[in-house]
């Protein structure tokens, strides 16, 4: 036995294993698990094994869910939902409180079970995962209590299908189930194939507290089970997982009316400036990429270091890497546990080998790997060029890349040089610098001098190909609620593009007016050189330019060049909107006559002026919040514009419909490529001179006339368009949602409505025109 004096010399850690006997006895007593449906467990069907990744030993057999199993779970949830939603908020709060308390009563059991099934160290499940699980149920018990006051008129979505990953099995369950139940929804949840056991243990807790049958249903299985849940008649799908599967789900749900939130992959930058506390930043790397074996969607996997600090930082990081302890995840002294499954281990090895083949060098801890189990020694890679596979692909393992930068602009450019946008970590002692970079990095979560901080009170979610929607906080609650939709209004079929001009006298005789498309603040002829006839009944109104794919491309480029609009203050944007309203008012009679010639309503002009005033008023008032989260931090929830948006406008109310969609988008700082009413585009093309005399910068609004659905498809497919609104047919809306899967842009498909009614303006338009960035800033010592 080692003597104390010798231990003090070496400072080596002795073994400190956590007992697993109680959990193993629980597993032995059950061995084969069925699904949890309608308040009870079904008999086990065809099963698959779930193994301990640290040893390879079998833990239990779990039932492979079928389409029939999913259907039974959805039916149970559907039957239970009306009564659950009808409960007063206080009653639902009591159930959520009970779930939180019972999780706490079994915290060590759940922590050990998670280690056995997932392979992560006991320190992480005990000190991070399980406490956050109970925190989410406590927090959302509060939302249930105050829902009617905080979300007036909102109602639950209905039945929610939820699919969670294997990296945080119980925590992801809480992230999804807690807000769904607080809002009055019922759920069918599918845990990951590799890690279903903590979800099944949670099902027992649901039964133990007496949760009404059907409120929570859990169906286990692989990807086929998840696909069956996506296809099932649920009202919402919430998915956390890979970007590739997220695309499949986006296409599968297109046109179904199902609400969708996607929290997908990431390749998050970890930016270290020369003035940073380098020792603290090194510890940040430990928490950013070696936490949970790097199997974290928001892991700081791309370390970007100021060239002046690169050598010093790399030396310190290498020294710290050598101190990490890899081994038995149940040992309280273990830093690095097991990779979740041999398949994932093989993927990590393959990507690292690809990176080395492309010229990168691997700096790796000299760890003695256990004889059994799936383990990979932590490390980082240097000499990584931007196109190297390890710089581009999500490794999802304990390996980061390290790259240097010289200037602030280069740091931002490197940080944003990814198709993802989930999170970022910024290290500097200069708070002004930190907040400047936080505003410029395209990510949904930003940590300043910290990393991987989570709390139920703050939203979490990504931008770009990291998905859309938020989980946690006020914005996460909103994802499980819906507001009453205005009654859909019938809309005439758009003008046929092959229609010839009608014979006879035009509606407005005089000098011929030539409408053009509008790109970058300039009137331009369409690329194809074609026009189409615009007719209203027996009256020929004129020829409109027929835009094509190249016109859309040019308009998107012009919109990107107008990026300064998003950096303008809300007051400045408001002034421009007021000017547009003022100049439209000066030409009200002209616009009214133009609309009347097409059988329109002259009152549309006055309504458009009022709408511009409304969004001018909101431009500097639709602002963010400070979330109450962890001590020593303030968490800023900042609504940010998407950037470039595509907007396809309705045929009805050609002026007011256009203004009702474009105004909120630009009020929030977006630049738009708009497709006006196909049957009456002149209401929009006549706005060119209004824009030009109202200080609207070129490229903020671009107008392409022509075939609405054809042009909308091009916009939906465009990878440099960040969000897309479409108002038109159900078929067109389904098309836009499906085609948006390429870069997973946020979409909003609206049906035509009374554009002078209350459902044609309001905060929901502003919320749809923004995405919330949560910035964690140190506050206090």
- Give the residue numbers annotated as catalytic, written as ranges: 263, 297
- Find out whether 283 and 249 touch, Cβ atoms under 8 Å: no
Residue with tokens 């919402």: 236
What the block records as the tokens of 546 is: 């027929």
In sequence order, which residues have a C-beta less than 8 Å from that of residue 487 and are 6 or more positions away? 753, 754
Distance from C-alpha of 428 to C-alpha of 81, rounded to nearest angstrom: 49
- Ramachandran area for residue 106 (φ above 0: left; ψ -120 to 50: alpha; else beta): alpha
The SS3 call for residue 94 is helix
Dist. CA 674–CA 680, nearest whole Å: 14
CA dihedral 263, 700, 650, 759 (to 10 degrees): 70
**Other residues' Cβ atoms within 10 Å of the Cβ of residue 564:** 12
Which residues have C-beta within 8 Å of that of residue 745, sequence separation ≥ 6? 468, 716, 721, 722, 723, 724
How many angstroms separate the CA atoms of 46 and 63, rounded?
6
User: Contact 103/110 with Cβ under 8 angstroms?
Assistant: yes
- The sign of the dihedral angle between the CA atoms of 286, 288, 290, 291 is positive
The C-alpha atoms of residue 175 and residue 461 are separated, in whole angstroms, by 12
3-state helix/strand/coil string of 367-383: CCCCCCCCCCCCEEEEC
The H-or-E segment that residue 243 falls in is helix 243-253
Q: Pick from 766, 304, 688: which is nearest to 519 by CA?
A: 688
Across the strands, what pairs with 546? none
Cα 167–chain centre separation: 18
Q: Could you tell me the CA-to-CA distances from 648 to 412, 487, 522, 741 in Å, in that order?
A: 32, 20, 20, 18
For 625, the 3-state DSSP assignment is strand
Q: Is 85 exposed, middle or buried (0-12, 13-18, 19+ CB in 10 A)?
A: middle
The residue to which tokens 């040019």 are assigned: 554
- Cα–Cα dist 728/484, whole Å: 19
Query: Could you tell me which residues are beta bridge partners of residue 625?
Result: 637
What is the C-alpha to C-alpha distance for residues 480 and 433, in angstroms, rounded to an integer?
36
Of residues 635, 240, 668, the one with CA closest to residue 459 = 635
Distance CA 477, CA 479 (A): 5
Cα–Cα distances in angstroms (integers) from residue 73 to residues 33, 39, 210, 236, in the given order: 16, 10, 18, 15
Spatial distance between the Cα atoms of 335 and 340, rounded to a whole number of angstroms: 15
Alpha helices (runs of H) in 394-452, residue ranges in sequence order: 408-415, 431-440
* Whole-angstrom Cα Rg for the chain: 28
* Alpha-carbon gap, residue 114 to 110, rounded angstroms: 6
CA–CA separation, 640 vs 727, rounded Å? Answer: 23
Q: What contacts 458, CB < 8 A, 6 or more positions away?
A: 472, 473, 627, 629, 635, 637, 774, 776
- How far apart are alpha carbons 711 and 87 in whole angstroms? 46
């Amino acid at each position: 036995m080692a003597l104390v004096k010798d231990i003090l010399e070496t400072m080596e850690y002795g073994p400190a294993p956590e007992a697993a006997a109680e959990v193993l006895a629980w597993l032995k007593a059950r061995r084969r698990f069925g699904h949890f449906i309608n308040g009870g467990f079904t008999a086990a069907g065809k099963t698959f094994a779930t193994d301990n990744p640290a040893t390879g030993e079998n833990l239990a057999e779990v039932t492979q869910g079928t389409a029939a199993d999913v259907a039974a779970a959805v039916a149970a949830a559907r039957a239970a939902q009306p009564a659950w939603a009808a409960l007063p908020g206080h009653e639902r709060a009591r159930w959520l409180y009970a779930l939180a308390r019972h999780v706490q009563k079994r915290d060590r059991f759940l922590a050990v079970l998670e280690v056995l099934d997932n392979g992560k160290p006991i320190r992480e499940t005990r000190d991070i995962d399980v406490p956050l699980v109970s925190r989410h149920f406590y927090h959302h018990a509060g939302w249930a209590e105050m829902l009617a006051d905080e979300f007036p008129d909102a109602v639950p979505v209905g039945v929610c299908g939820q699919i969670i990953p294997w990296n945080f099995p119980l925590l992801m369950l809480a992230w999804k189930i807690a807000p769904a139940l607080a809002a009055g929804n019922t759920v069918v949840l599918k845990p990951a194939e590799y890690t279903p056991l903590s979800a099944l243990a949670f099902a027992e807790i649901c039964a133990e507290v007496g949760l009404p049958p059907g409120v929570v249903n859990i169906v286990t299985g692989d990807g086929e089970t998840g696909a069956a849940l996506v296809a099932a008649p649920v009202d919402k799908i919430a998915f956390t997982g890979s970007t590739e599967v997220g695309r499949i789900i986006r296409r599968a749900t297109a046109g179904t009316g199902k609400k969708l939130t996607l929290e997908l992959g990431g390749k998050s930058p970890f930016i270290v400036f020369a003035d940073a506390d380098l020792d603290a930043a090194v510890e940040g790397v430990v928490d950013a990429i070696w936490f949970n074996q790097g199997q974290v969607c928001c892991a700081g996997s791309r370390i970007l270091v100021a060239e002046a600090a690169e050598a010093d930082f790399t030396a310190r990081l290498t020294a710290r890497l050598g101190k990490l302890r890899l081994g038995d995840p149940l040992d309280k002294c273990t830093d690095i546990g097991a990779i979740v499954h041999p398949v994932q281990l093989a993927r990590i090895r393959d990507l690292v080998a690809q990176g080395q083949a492309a010229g990168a060098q691997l700096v790796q801890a000299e760890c003695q790997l256990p004889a059994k189990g799936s383990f990979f020694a932590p490390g980082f890679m240097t000499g990584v060029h931007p196109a190297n596979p390890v710089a581009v692909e999500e490794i999802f393992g304990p390996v980061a890349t390290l790259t240097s930068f010289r200037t602030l602009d280069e740091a931002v450019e490197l940080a944003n040089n990814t198709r993802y946008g989930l999170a970022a970590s910024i290290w500097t002692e200069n708070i002004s610098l930190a907040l400047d970079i936080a505003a410029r990095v395209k990510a949904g979560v930003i940590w300043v001098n910290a990393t991987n901080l989570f709390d139920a009170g703050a939203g979490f979610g990504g931008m770009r190909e990291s998905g859309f929607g938020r989980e946690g906080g006020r914005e996460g609650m909103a994802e499980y609620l819906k507001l009453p939709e205005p009654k859909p209004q019938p809309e005439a079929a758009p003008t046929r593009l092959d229609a010839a001009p009608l014979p006879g006298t035009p509606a407005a005789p005089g000098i011929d007016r030539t409408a053009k498309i509008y790109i970058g603040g300039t009137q331009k002829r369409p690329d194809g050189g074609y026009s189409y006839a615009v007719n209203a009944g027996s009256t020929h109104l004129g020829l409109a330019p027929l835009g094509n794919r190249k016109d859309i491309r040019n308009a998107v480029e012009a919109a990107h060049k107008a990026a300064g609009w998003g950096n303008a203050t809300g007051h400045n944007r408001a002034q421009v909107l007021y000017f547009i309203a003022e100049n439209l008012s000066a030409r009200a009679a002209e616009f009214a006559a133009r609309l009347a010639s097409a059988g329109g309503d002259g009152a549309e002009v006055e309504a458009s002026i009022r709408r511009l005033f409304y969004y001018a008023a909101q431009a500097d008032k639709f602002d963010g919040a400070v979330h109450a989260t962890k001590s020593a931090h303030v968490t800023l929830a900042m609504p940010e514009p998407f950037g470039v948006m595509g907007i396809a406008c309705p045929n009805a109310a050609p002026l007011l419909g256009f203004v009702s969609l474009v105004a909120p988008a630009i009020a929030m700082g977006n630049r738009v490529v708009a497709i006006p009413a196909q049957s009456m585009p002149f209401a929009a093309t006549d706005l060119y001179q209004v824009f030009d005399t109202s200080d609207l910068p070129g490229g903020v609004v671009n107008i392409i006339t022509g075939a609405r659905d054809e042009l909308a498809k091009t916009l939906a497919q465009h990878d440099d368009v960040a969000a897309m609104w479409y108002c038109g047919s159900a078929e067109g809306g389904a098309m836009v949602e499906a085609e948006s899967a390429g870069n997973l842009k946020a979409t909003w498909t609206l049906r035509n409505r009374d554009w002078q009614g209350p459902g044609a303006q309001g905060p929901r338009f502003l919320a749809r025109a923004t995405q919330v960035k949560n910035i964690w800033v140190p506050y206090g010592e």
